A and B are shown apart, each in its own frame.
Chain A
């Protein structure tokens, strides 16, 4: 277990409470603990569209689900300068509230992406939403504004002309966000109550679209934040921002790591499995497989296997103990969103809006169900988000609509 700086009893209690209040929710990019899986979810083999709701703008951020509500970010306007957060009833897709404000940072992005690229996160009581313009706002579940920041106003060279995409996480009372780019590159720990800086870390000057993820040494330890970059993986104390340990052999700047049973699987010229030590020493490298190529996709661990999709649309199932490939299955791509899983099923939704359900218990994996989402062909609409799971429901969004899929 890494040596942690002392936390106050209150902070520790809050951290534990926060993590335990998520049951059933999909509170951030790739769900609980950023794993892409939900223990209590079920992916239907033959999903149908339960409802759809129109969206006021573009987006590739994922929906999140908190306390029976779905939250989605969008951006609209001729320069994508209008930032939206919309709250829907998860049950029927009725719009409960919408908030809109203006970007204070740069809104230029590559054409395929847009300003609503970062998935919001929640601690079960509040929503923390970030956009590519580095505008960040927090609302309670009823839509009351708690705070708003314009991080490019504060740090004017923090931007990426291709667009930013890292999604924040919340650990205890700290919102951790990576504003990493070629120029003014940093990560921030923000006070979840006020949005004020708790810490600010200078980071490698290199474009980075990965997201922070939580990692904990064991069930009794508070989570720490893992920050991935071209240099590798850095573990920081979420409360103080102090450096705990580092894997300095380099890592992907596009696909994010995933944690299962305390082991970290980091995309790094393939995938490297890391086991942090009980000191601040660099983590032990368990294996490094170049057979697994996550490309821009973040991997997921299910049933003792690591699943990844390469640029050609091939799902690889690898043994988490060795990194050895067990089987490969071609699915219809291309993909921008990452796979998610529950039980014995893996769900992938390609850019063309085709949801594909894979039975991972089949000897070589098998597609057991498909659903084509009704995209707008006229606008060449794509689905670029990672889906969200809640119960037996799937939530997916495009530039114009949010769908709930069910049994």
Chain B
């Protein structure tokens, strides 16, 4: 019965929300103008006036602002976000009512765009912190990574007040939900203190088993653009002319629990060198995914022969999930090729020649290969 009532409430809220979104046809053209802002500021000429129009519509425009968010680019979302924030600020100042029930219903409906739900939560927080605080625990398994964080933090905070058994339960619950690196480190450390093993590569979806080949030349940093044989074919039994000698593919597995693949280990300390790593990821279905890479060397990543992204920056810093590469996995075997270039710098902070790569969804939840072994 409770389930039916809840569904009815959600349905009615959605109906109300939809009708409110349509009620404000006058502002719809203005909202369209904001959502239509494109690359290099195209549409900015009209968006400035449209933004004022949306803001002047006041609280009644909030549902339509949320409905429009996520339909265009991230920059268009910022136009809408800034409109929503100002509407709430001015309504609070004028003590005008805000459609917070609709905003809460919008957050609860996970079919809405991630950017829109995130905006909805931020507007709720801005308008009524108590309501946002009450809602937050329900977001612990949310499909939006940023919405989980607060709920996970609450569980972590609760764990700190518990006895060992209670804390263990809290931390296990947190581990199930946590996706951010800093929180995961904290939860893992506490669980390990309590004698609970944590498999971080599996939790994050790091790709651990690879075949590697190198070194090829990177003198004058030309290796980044050079097309070496692994970019033309993947044949693990092949041998090629490398920088100084013939090179062959070698099996190599990362021993780092954050998935770092260190080329200095198979090839020795090298400078002005390029290497490749290849692995196979088996997906049971065709699906959207993210390859998330961290690294401080120049790199390129290909999925099934298509270049996803490349970056020629050296030794400026490394972080997990530094780069998020959206991709589409095909059903079955997917070939992932990584190129990693080491430059000429000799300082002791330029020794690293490595990358870390993981497969996950947009919430940072690991996607594991259906077959454990790499090619």
| B312-A196 in contact (CB<8A) | no
| B41-A101 in contact (CB<8A) | no
How many of A's residues come within 8 Å of B, CB to CB? 39
- Asked whether B89 is an interface residue with its Cβ less than 8 Å from the other chain, the reply is yes
Which among A146, A148, A205 is the interface contact of B78 at CB below 8 angstroms?
A: A148
| Given A108-B319, A143-B86: A78 and B77 interface contact (C-beta under 8 Å) | no
CB of B38, distance to nearest CB on chain A (Å): 10
- Asked whether B268 is an interface residue with its Cβ less than 8 Å from the other chain, the reply is no
| A150-B75 in contact (CB<8A) | yes
How far, in whole Å, are A154 and B79 apart by their CA atoms in the complex? 16
- Asked whether B9 is an interface residue with its Cβ less than 8 Å from the other chain, the reply is no
- Asked whether A5 is an interface residue with its Cβ less than 8 Å from the other chain, the reply is no
- Asked whether B322 is an interface residue with its Cβ less than 8 Å from the other chain, the reply is yes
- In the bound complex, residues from chain B placing their C-beta under 8 Å from that of A195 are 41, 44
- Asked whether A156 is an interface residue with its Cβ less than 8 Å from the other chain, the reply is yes
- In the bound complex, residues from chain B placing their C-beta under 8 Å from that of A194 are 41, 44-45, 48
| A144-B317 in contact (CB<8A) | no
How far, in whole Å, are A146 and B78 apart by their CA atoms in the complex? 12
**Pair count A-B, CB < 8 A:** 103
- Asked whether B314 is an interface residue with its Cβ less than 8 Å from the other chain, the reply is yes
- Asked whether A240 is an interface residue with its Cβ less than 8 Å from the other chain, the reply is no
| B89-A145 in contact (CB<8A) | no
How far, in whole Å, are A145 and B48 apart by their CA atoms in the complex? 7
A residues 144-160 touching B (CB-CB < 8 Å): 144-150, 153-154, 156-157, 159-160
- Asked whether B332 is an interface residue with its Cβ less than 8 Å from the other chain, the reply is no
How far, in whole Å, are A183 and B224 apart by their CA atoms in the complex? 12
| B180-A100 in contact (CB<8A) | no
Which among A100, A145, A149, A183 is the interface contact of B41 at CB below 8 angstroms?
A: A149
- In the bound complex, residues from chain A placing their C-beta under 8 Å from that of B85 are 99-101
How far, in whole Å, are A159 and B316 apart by their CA atoms in the complex? 10
B65-100 toward A: CB 8 Å interface, digit per residue (1/0)?
A: 000000001110111011101100100000000000
A-B contact pairs, 21 of them (CB 8 A): A78-B149, A102-B74, A102-B78, A102-B81, A104-B74, A108-B317, A135-B78, A144-B55, A148-B82, A149-B44, A150-B75, A154-B40, A157-B312, A159-B313, A160-B316, A161-B317, A161-B322, A183-B312, A190-B41, A194-B41, A196-B42
* Residues on B facing A (Cβ under 8 Å): 39-42, 44-45, 47-48, 51-52, 55, 73-75, 77-79, 81-83, 85-86, 89, 149, 180, 182, 296, 309, 311-314, 316-319, 322-323
The 6 closest A-B pairs by CB, nearest first: A161-B316, A161-B317, A150-B75, A104-B74, A182-B313, A101-B78
* Residues on A facing B (Cβ under 8 Å): 78, 97-102, 104, 106, 108, 110, 135, 137, 143-150, 153-154, 156-157, 159-162, 181-183, 190, 194-197, 205, 207
